[in-house]
Every structure is written in C-alpha cells, then in structure tokens.
Amino acid sequence: MYQDEKLVCEDCGAEFVFTAGEQEFYAEKGLVNKPKRCPDCRKNRRQNNRRHGRKLYDATCSKCGAQTQVPFKPIPGKEVYCKDCFASIKAE
C-alpha cells in the first residue's frame, strides 16, 4: 500500500507531497524514479521546453505554398507541409 511522502524540489527547494495516488500512477506506468520537482516546477519546465526547446526552420508548404515553420531542417527535394496541409494529408 502506498503512503503520502514528502519530497524536496531540486529546482526551488520547496517541500511537496508525492501522494499515494501519484505513486500508484507511477507504478502502473512502470516509472521507478520519484519526481525531483514540485508540480509547479514540473509545469514550468514542460512549458519552457515546448516554447524554447526546439529550433524552428522557415519553409514553404509543398501543397499550398504558404510560409510556415517546421521543427526540422528542410531537405531540398523533400516535401514539407504546413500544419493544415499536413493534417489534411494525415486524415486521408
């Protein structure tokens, strides 16, 4: 049986509770390490990684010709699609 456990965030140093429910969830997913960051620091880290984690490259959509940005360096001769065209191709 799981019990709430107090942990210390490695980023901000705040104490937070690793609840029994979270521990059960971690076990179900096969995660063996306890969280190192409090929920607020985890949330901030995820948001920062999404915004700043990838370099974006300018490209022209091969289907509609719109200017777009992609998270990979376009290779000459390979098709690149904007978000809308990629979604429509994927749906087909």
Per-residue pLDDT, 45: 83
CB 49 within 8 A of CB 57: no
My answer on whether 28 and 65 are in the same domain is: no
Task: Give me the domain span that covers residue 11.
Answer: 5-52
**Structural domains in the chain (count):** 2
Residues 74 and 46 in one domain: no
pTM for the model: 0.52
Do 13 and 46 fall within a single domain? yes
Task: Tokens 């990629």: give the residue.
Answer: 86
Domain shared by 48 and 63, yes or no: no
Which pLDDT does position 30 carry in this prediction?
Answer: 92
Q: How far is CA 43 from CA 25, 33, 39, 40, 88, in A?
A: 18, 18, 6, 5, 31
pLDDT tens string, the chain, 92 residues long: the values are 899 999 999 999 999 999 999 999 999 999 999 999 999 999 888 777 665 567 788 999 999 999 998 888 999 999 999 989 999 988 88
Within this chain, do residues 43 and 82 fall inside the same structural domain, yes or no?
Answer: no
